[in-house]
């Protein structure tokens, strides 16, 4: 028998089997378990529980019926405040370990603990619909996903009618519970009457089959057209906190670069208090969305550039005073950081969804910048992911 003594950054329980660190899914500190090692690596094992001999005092019943099988969520079996503590410790520990930054970080909670996601991506294998279990390609069939919005959950039962045998279906909903459906498959699919749902459009691969290939969503009273292949913040309510943090702290009347701008959200948010806002984004539809989004928000001081951030950043022919950067999980490339340092903005807002890549990048940026604030946000409740905004001021 083994006792779980701590959790790793992905919310997996840690114990030692013959002195080798072993990560055990769906366990909590204080659980005493019998386990089965499912994968042996040189430096660690992955294991699953075969029997709980003693339960952690923190344990509660997970709300999701698939929690112990599906790989999507962690820590659904403790109360929400404990998950916030986990994220606070995770962010602080990673900043300390990888960037030698010691800060007391607050995590802003999500107004919605469940039903917060406005987008999910379900796998379809041999006509079965679900998510892969943790670290594998084994499909766990699901009929609901309680971190996804209620509008998305309502629709899940209709998916079999599309007759997709193998592929993926991405369901998105907006503030008005309209749905945008993107199906990725080589199968011929069936389009059926959808009168009971507010389906705005159905796209198969990159072909529009029905309606529109985009819808309008809202964050913080601003309208955003979002195409099926454009990124959009998955937790609207927490995204609005990011808007407020940036709007409150940004130096006013300056030229701003919104690097990795998506549909223009973070840049448009500060247009009213900025000179010119430049955006750089690699997805064509997202750039087209951001041009539309400027118009529909009555904003006239934006300029968007399509292309790879690493290349396009060097083509801006203006002084940039503030950079807002919100990269994917991988963080910034070394050459992007070099370009940022060369541009020499007074202020940088680094919006990150991965504390490890954030810490790596801060190591380089902090030669020229001081950190004035780091704020954690629970954008993804009941997952191990941790969003943060780091405000850097030039020395
Ligand atoms: C985390 S999202 C942030 C988007 C936007 N700032 C927002 O808040 O909605 C990252 C964005 O970077 C874009 N992207 C990914 N790789 C890129 C690259 N090499 N150059 C420019 N944009 C890129 C993605 O398409 C996505 O829109």
For 18-41, b/e burial (b = at least 16 CB within 10 A) is: eeeebbbbbbbbebbbebeeeeee
Dmax (CA) of the chain:
65
The atom of ligand 1 lying closest to the CA of 353 is 1
Sign of CA dihedral 103, 104, 110, 113: positive
Residue 261 Cα to ligand 1 middle (Å): 6
* 120: Cβ contacts below 8 Å, ≥ 6 apart: 145, 148, 152, 170, 171
Q: Which sequence spans correspond to the domains of the chain?
A: 2-59, 86-111+233-394, 119-216
Tokens representing 54 are 């003693």
Residue 160 Cα to ligand 1 middle (Å): 32
Domains 2-59 and 86-111+233-394 share a fold: no
The atom of ligand 1 lying closest to the CA of 263 is 9
Residue 108 Cα to ligand 1 middle (Å): 23
Nearest to 184 by CA among 214, 162, 151, 200: 162
Q: What are the tens digits of pLDDT across the range 138-169? A: 999 999 999 999 999 999 999 999 999 999 99
Which one of 222, 225, 229, 231 would you pick to mutate in the ligand 1 pocket, going by the greatest count of ligand atoms within 8 A of its CB? 231
Residue 381 is predicted with a pLDDT of: 98
Residue 227 Cα to ligand 1 middle (Å): 14
Residue 263 Cα to ligand 1 middle (Å): 9
CB 251 within 8 A of CB 317: no
Residue 300 is predicted with a pLDDT of: 97
* 166: Cβ contacts below 8 Å, ≥ 6 apart: 124, 125, 126, 185, 186, 187
pLDDT over 80 (residue 101)? yes
The atom of ligand 1 lying closest to the CA of 258 is 6
Residue 71 is predicted with a pLDDT of: 80
Which one of 119, 217, 234, 260 would you pick to mutate in the ligand 1 pocket, going by the greatest count of ligand atoms within 8 A of its CB? 260
Residue 214 is predicted with a pLDDT of: 98
Task: Please report, for residues 275, 277, 288, the alpha-carbon distance to residue 223 in angstroms, rounded to integers and kept in the order given.
Answer: 21, 17, 14
For atom 26 of ligand 1, the residue with the nearest CA is 262
Tokens representing 32 are 């005493």
pLDDT over 80 (residue 285)? yes
Residue 260 Cα to ligand 1 middle (Å): 4
The atom of ligand 1 lying closest to the CA of 286 is 27
Residue 69 is predicted with a pLDDT of: 87
For atom 12 of ligand 1, the residue with the nearest CA is 260
For 160-171, b/e burial (b = at least 16 CB within 10 A) is: eebebeebebbb
* Beta-carbon count within 10 A of 306 CB: 15
* Ranges 70-79, 205-214, 236-245: which has the least confidence: 70-79
Which one of 228, 262, 267, 361 would you pick to mutate in the ligand 1 pocket, going by the greatest count of ligand atoms within 8 A of its CB? 262
* Beta-carbon count within 10 A of 395 CB: 8
In the structure, which protein residues have their CB atom closer than 6 angstroms to any atom of ligand 1? 231-233, 260-262, 265-266, 280-283, 286, 308-309, 326-328
pTM (predicted TM-score): 0.96
Residue 136 is predicted with a pLDDT of: 79
Residue 230 Cα to ligand 1 middle (Å): 9
Domain boundaries 119-216, corresponding CATH code: 2.40.50.1070
Residue 156 is predicted with a pLDDT of: 98
User: How many Å apart are CA 41 and CA 63, to the nearest integer?
Assistant: 32
2-59 maps to CATH 2.40.50.140: yes
Residue 282 Cα to ligand 1 middle (Å): 7
Q: What are the tens digits of pLDDT across the range 322-342? A: 999 999 999 999 999 999 999
Residue 63 is predicted with a pLDDT of: 94
Nearest to 262 by CA among 227, 230, 223: 230
Strands 6-7 and 13-17 turn out to be antiparallel
Residue 137 is predicted with a pLDDT of: 86
Nearest to 251 by CA among 349, 351, 388, 376: 349
Average the pLDDT over 368-394 and give the result.
Answer: 97
Residue 327 Cα to ligand 1 middle (Å): 6
Give percent of the chain above pLDDT 90: 96
Residue 134 is predicted with a pLDDT of: 75
Write down the architecture of domain 86-111+233-394 according to CATH: 3-Layer(aba) Sandwich (3.40)
């Amino acid at each position: 028998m083994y006792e779980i003594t701590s959790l790793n950054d992905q919310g997996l329980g840690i114990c030692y089997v013959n002195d080798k660190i072993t990560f055990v899914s769906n366990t909590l500190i204080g659980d005493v378990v019998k386990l089965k090692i499912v994968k042996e690596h040189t430096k660690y094992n992955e294991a699953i529980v075969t029997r709980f001999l003693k339960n952690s005092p923190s344990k509660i019943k997970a709300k999701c019926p698939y929690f112990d099988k599906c790989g999507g969520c962690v820590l659904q079996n403790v109360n929400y405040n404990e998950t916030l503590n986990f994220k606070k410790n995770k962010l602080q520990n990673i900043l300390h370990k990888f960037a030698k930054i010691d800060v007391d970080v607050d995590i802003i909670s999500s107004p919605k603990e469940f039903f917060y996601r406005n987008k999910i991506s379900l796998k379809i294998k041999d006509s079965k619909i679900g998510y892969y279990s943790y670290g594998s390609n084994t499909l766990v069939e699901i009929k609901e996903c309680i971190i996804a919005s209620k509008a998305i959950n309502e629709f899940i039962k209709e998916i079999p009618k599309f007759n997709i045998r193998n592929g993926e279906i991405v369901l998105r909903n907006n503030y008005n519970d309209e749905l945008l459906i993107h199906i990725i498959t080589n199968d011929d699919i069936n389009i059926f009457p959808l009168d009971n749902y507010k389906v705005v459009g159905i796209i198969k691969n990159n072909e529009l089959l029905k309606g529109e290939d985009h819808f309008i969503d809202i964050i913080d009273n601003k309208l955003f057209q979002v195409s099926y292949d454009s990124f959009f913040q998955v937790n609207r309510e927490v995204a609005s906190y990011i808007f407020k943090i940036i709007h409150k702290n940004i130096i006013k009347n300056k030229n701003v670069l919104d690097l990795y701008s998506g549909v223009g959200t973070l840049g448009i948010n500060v247009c009213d208090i900025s000179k010119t806002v430049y955006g750089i984004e690699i997805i064509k539809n997202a750039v087209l969305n951001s041009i539309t989004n400027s118009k529909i928000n009555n904003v006239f001081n934006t300029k968007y550039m399509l292309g790879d951030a690493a290349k396009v950043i060097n083509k801006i022919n203006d002084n940039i005073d503030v950079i807002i950067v919100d990269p994917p999980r991988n963080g910034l490339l070394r050459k992007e950081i070099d370009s940022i340092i060369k541009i020499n903005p007074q202020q940088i807002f680094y919006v990150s969804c991965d504390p490890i890549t954030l810490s790596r990048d801060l190591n380089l940026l902090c030669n020229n910048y001081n950190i004035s604030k780091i704020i954690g946000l629970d954008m993804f409740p009941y997952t191990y992911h941790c969003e943060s905004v780091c405000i850097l001021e030039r020395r």
